Amino acid sequence: MALNSVCYGVRQTLVSLLRNLWLALASSAMIAISLMVLGAFLLAAVNAGQFMRVIESTVEVNVFLKEDADVRGIQQRLLGLGGVEQVTFVSKEQGLQEFQRSMGDKADLLSGFEGENNPLPDSFRVRAESADLVPALAHQISFYAGVDKVLYGEEYVEWLVKITRWVNVICLGAVAVLTVAAVFLIVITIRLSVVARQDEISIMKYLGASNWFVRGPFVLEGMLVGFTGALLAVAVLGAGYYYLVAALWQMTMLFFVQPVIDTAVLTPIMGGLLALGLLMGGVGSLISVRKYLRV
Amino acid sequence: MIQLYNVSKVYDSGIPAVSDISIRIAKGEFVFLVGPSGAGKSTVTRLIFREQLPTTGQVFFRGKNVLRFGQRDILQLRRQIGMVFQDFRLLPRKTVFENVAFALEVIGRSRREIRERVPVALAQVGLQGKEEAFPDQLSGGEQQRVGVARAIVKKPLVILADEPTGNLDPDTSWELMGLFEQINRDGTTVLIATHAWDIVNRMRKRVIALENGRLVRDEEQGSYRHGA
C-alpha cells in the first residue's frame, strides 16, 4: 500500500480513537482485565508446574530385595527400564543408619540391630522421570526375580497425577473463554466506530478505495486498543507478581514454595500477553468490518 | 468504451430488472438513459460499475469483460469511473475541499497532488471561494457541483450520473447539465440516467430509452418520447 494511504490510515485511526475515547478506554480496560486473569492463570500454571516437578522429584519407588538376590543383575535391569531417571543402591547398613537418623533422639531403640542382627533388606531407590510413570514401573519391577517387595506412595502419586490433569484442563478452558470474551468486546467497540462511519465507508467504495484502505484504520484502531489493554495487564501483573514474591521472601515462605522468578520463563509470558492483545484487537476489528465491505 | 451484450438481470426477489439489453457507448459520447422509475436505469449503471453482475449476458469496459474481473481489476475500473448520485453523498463533517480531496485520498494520491488538483476541479464546477464551506451551508445545486467536482478530480474516463438532477429545481438542473456538457467536451464519456424529459428534449443528445427493463429506443439526437 502506498505511503500516502498509510498516513491517511494512521490519521483516521487517531481521529476515530479520540472521537470515541471513553469507549476505547473502556474496552482497553476490559481487555486488560481479561488478559490479567489469563496472565494470572498462566503464572499460576507455571508455578504449579514447578511445584509439581519438585514434588515429583521426591516420588520414588523403593525396591526391597531378597537375601539371596543378584544385586548387580537387578541394577542392570532397572537401569535398562524406560522412564527411569536414577537408580540408587541402599545397602542394609545404610538403610539402618537412615532409619536411626529419622528416629532422632529415640535412635537408641534401634541399638543392637547392627551387623548380623540387621533385619532390613538391601534395597534400590528408583526415581522415575515423571510421577505418572511410577505405578506402571512399580508393577513391572515387582515381578523381577530376587525382588521381595515394591513400595511407593501409591495414593499420593495417583492424586498428584489427577490434580495435574484437572489444573491443566481448567486453565485451558478459562483461557479459551476469556479470549473469546475479549475478542467479542473488541468486535463491539470497533463495530461502533464502523457504524459511525458507515456512510463514509460506502462512499469510499464508490470512489474506488481498496478493501485494505477501508479496513486499515479500523484494524489499527483495534490493535491499538488491544495493545493498550495488554500493556496495562502486563504492568499490573508484573507489579503484583513482584510484590507477591517479595512478600513470600520476607515471610521466609520460600523454603516451602519456590515461585518462578526465571526471566527466561516470565518474559515470554508477558511478551505473549502483549502479542495476544494485538492479535485479539486485529482479529476483532476484521470480524467487525467484514460485513460492511461488500459493495 | 462500454458495451453490454444481451444483458439480463434478475434480482433475488425474482423480479427481472433488465431483460436482454445490448448497448454500445463509444469514447467521448454523451448519452442519456431515460425511462420511468423502475425501468432499469439504475441497474444498468450498477452493472457498468460492477456493483452487480448480470444474470446472463456480458459487460465490457474498454474491451475487457468485467465479469472476469478480480478484486484489483474492479478497483481499477472504479477509479476510471466518476460517479454522481441523486442524493450527492457528500460527507457532512468534511469541508468542500476535503470532500473533493477524499476522492484522491482513497486512491492513495499524494498531498501535493491533492493540493494541485482539487482547486482545478472546484474551479471547473464554479465553486472557487467555497473551499472551506461545509455541505449543509450550500444550496442543493452547489452540493451537486461538489459531487461533480469529486467525480472529475481523479480525471476519469467515464462519468456515470444516476438521476443527478432528481433533487434540484429546473434552473439549477439546467446549469448542471451545462457542466456535464463542458466535461464531455473535454473528452470524458458521460452517461446520465434521468427522467427529466424537458432537459433531455432540449439537449438533443443520444437517448437510450428503457421501459420495463427492455430497451425500446436508441437514437442519436433523440428526445425523451419518441417523436416529441
**CA closest to B82 among chain A residues:** A207
Q: Is B30 within the bounds of a domain?
A: yes
What are the residues of chain A with a beta carbon less than 8 Å away from any beta carbon of chain B?
A: 1-2, 4-5, 8, 199-200, 202-211, 213, 295
**Domain end: A152, A177, A204, which one?**
A152
Question: Do B73 and B169 sit in the same domain of this protein?
Answer: yes
**Overall average pLDDT of the A117-145 stretch:** 80
- Contacts B108 to A, Cβ<8 Å: 1-2, 4-5, 8, 213
**What percentage of chain A exceeds 90 in pLDDT?**
7
Compute the distance between CA of residue B29 and CA of residue B187 in angstroms, rounded to an integer: 8
Q: What is the pLDDT of residues A225-235, one digit of tens each?
A: 899 999 999 99
pLDDT at A241 over 80: yes
- Contacts B105 to A, Cβ<8 Å: 4, 8
Q: What is the pLDDT of residues A32-49, one digit of tens each?
A: 888 888 888 888 878 877
Question: Do B131 and B107 sit in the same domain of this protein?
Answer: yes
**Domain end: B155, B177, B206, which one?**
B155
Domain span at B38: 1-80+158-222
**Across A92-96, A156-160, A252-256, B95-99, least confident range:** A252-256
The predicted complex's ipTM stands at 0.82
Q: Is B85 within the bounds of a domain?
A: no
Identify the burial level of A32 via C-beta atoms within 10 angstroms of its C-beta, where 0-12 means exposed, 13-18 middle and 19 or more buried. buried
Instruction: Give the gap in angstroms from C-alpha B77 to the nearest C-alpha of chain A.
Output: 8
Q: Could you tell me the CATH number of the domain that includes residue B4?
A: 3.40.50.300
Question: Do B76 and B130 sit in the same domain of this protein?
Answer: no
Nearest CB neighbour to A207, from listed B103, B110, B111: B103
Q: Is B24 within the bounds of a domain?
A: yes
Identify the pLDDT of residue B23.
94
**Overall average pLDDT of the A20-42 stretch:** 81
pLDDT at A117 over 60: yes
* Higher-confidence position of B20 and A37: B20
Q: How confident is the model at residue B101 (pLDDT cuts 50, 70, 90)?
A: very high
Instruction: Give the gap in angstroms from C-alpha B226 to the nearest C-alpha of chain A.
Output: 34
Question: Do B211 and B140 sit in the same domain of this protein?
Answer: no
Question: Do B4 and B68 sit in the same domain of this protein?
Answer: yes
Question: Do B186 and B143 sit in the same domain of this protein?
Answer: no
**CA closest to B49 among chain A residues:** A206
Q: Is B227 within the bounds of a domain?
A: no
Instruction: Give the gap in angstroms from C-alpha A5 to the nearest C-alpha of chain B.
Output: 5
DSSP output for A215-250: HHHHHHHHHHHHHHHHHHHHHHHHHHHHHHHHHHHH
Is B83 in Cβ contact with A206 (below 8 Å)?
A: yes
**Domain end: B101, B127, B155, which one?**
B155
Q: What does the radius of gyration of chain B's CA atoms come to, in whole angstroms?
A: 17
| Overall number of domains in chain B | 2
Q: What does the radius of gyration of chain A's CA atoms come to, in whole angstroms?
A: 31
Compute the distance between CA of residue A59 and CA of residue A37 in angstroms, rounded to an integer: 32
| Overall number of domains in chain A | 2
Compute the distance between CA of residue A189 and CA of residue B144 in angstroms, rounded to an integer: 34
Question: Do A97 and A191 sit in the same domain of this protein?
Answer: no
Question: Do A171 and A133 sit in the same domain of this protein?
Answer: no
**Domain end: B128, B155, B182, which one?**
B155
| Greatest mean pLDDT among A180-189, B1-10, B36-45, B215-224 | B1-10
pLDDT at A30 over 90: no
Question: Do A147 and A222 sit in the same domain of this protein?
Answer: no
Question: Do B75 and B185 sit in the same domain of this protein?
Answer: yes
Is A204 in Cβ contact with B106 (below 8 Å)?
A: yes
**Overall average pLDDT of the A205-218 stretch:** 86
**Across A105-119, A193-207, B106-120, least confident range:** A105-119
Is B91 in Cβ contact with A4 (below 8 Å)?
A: no
**CA closest to A214 among chain B residues:** B106
Identify the pLDDT of residue A155.
67
Q: Is B162 within the bounds of a domain?
A: yes
Q: Could you tell me the CATH number of the domain that includes residue A64?
A: 3.30.70.3040
Question: Do B43 and B143 sit in the same domain of this protein?
Answer: no
**Across A43-47, B46-50, B72-76, B181-185, least confident range:** A43-47
**Overall average pLDDT of the A226-250 stretch:** 89
Q: How confident is the model at residue A252 (pLDDT cuts 50, 70, 90)?
A: low
Question: Do A136 and A269 sit in the same domain of this protein?
Answer: no
Q: Is B101 within the bounds of a domain?
A: yes
Question: Do A188 and A130 sit in the same domain of this protein?
Answer: no
Q: How confident is the model at residue A257 (pLDDT cuts 50, 70, 90)?
A: low
Q: How confident is the model at residue A154 (pLDDT cuts 50, 70, 90)?
A: low
Question: Do A119 and A133 sit in the same domain of this protein?
Answer: yes
Question: Do A216 and A278 sit in the same domain of this protein?
Answer: yes
Question: Do A213 and A242 sit in the same domain of this protein?
Answer: yes
Question: Do A87 and A47 sit in the same domain of this protein?
Answer: no
A174-182: long-range contacts (C-beta < 8 A, 24 or more apart)? A174/A37, A174/A38, A174/A41, A175/A38, A175/A41, A175/A42, A178/A34, A178/A35, A178/A37, A178/A38, A179/A34, A179/A38, A179/A276, A179/A280, A181/A34, A182/A30, A182/A31, A182/A34, A182/A35, A182/A229, A182/A280
Question: Do A112 and A252 sit in the same domain of this protein?
Answer: no
Question: Do A92 and A232 sit in the same domain of this protein?
Answer: no
Question: Do B181 and B149 sit in the same domain of this protein?
Answer: no
What is the pTM assigned to this prediction?
0.68
**Domain end: A152, A179, A213, which one?**
A152
User: B108 CB near a chain A CB, below 8 Å?
Assistant: yes
User: Whole-number mean pLDDT of chain B?
Assistant: 92
Is B91 in Cβ contact with A208 (below 8 Å)?
A: no
**Across A82-96, B52-66, B102-116, least confident range:** A82-96
pLDDT at A178 over 80: no
**Across A134-138, A212-216, B40-44, least confident range:** A134-138
**Domain end: A152, A183, A217, which one?**
A152
Stretch (H or E) spanning B34: strand B30-34
Question: Do A258 and A243 sit in the same domain of this protein?
Answer: yes
**Across A18-27, A272-281, B55-64, least confident range:** A18-27
**Overall average pLDDT of the A113-133 stretch:** 79
Q: What is the pLDDT of residues B175-220, one digit of tens each?
A: 999 999 999 999 999 999 998 888 999 999 999 999 999 999 998 8
Q: Is B141 within the bounds of a domain?
A: yes
Domain span at A138: 60-152
Q: Is B74 within the bounds of a domain?
A: yes
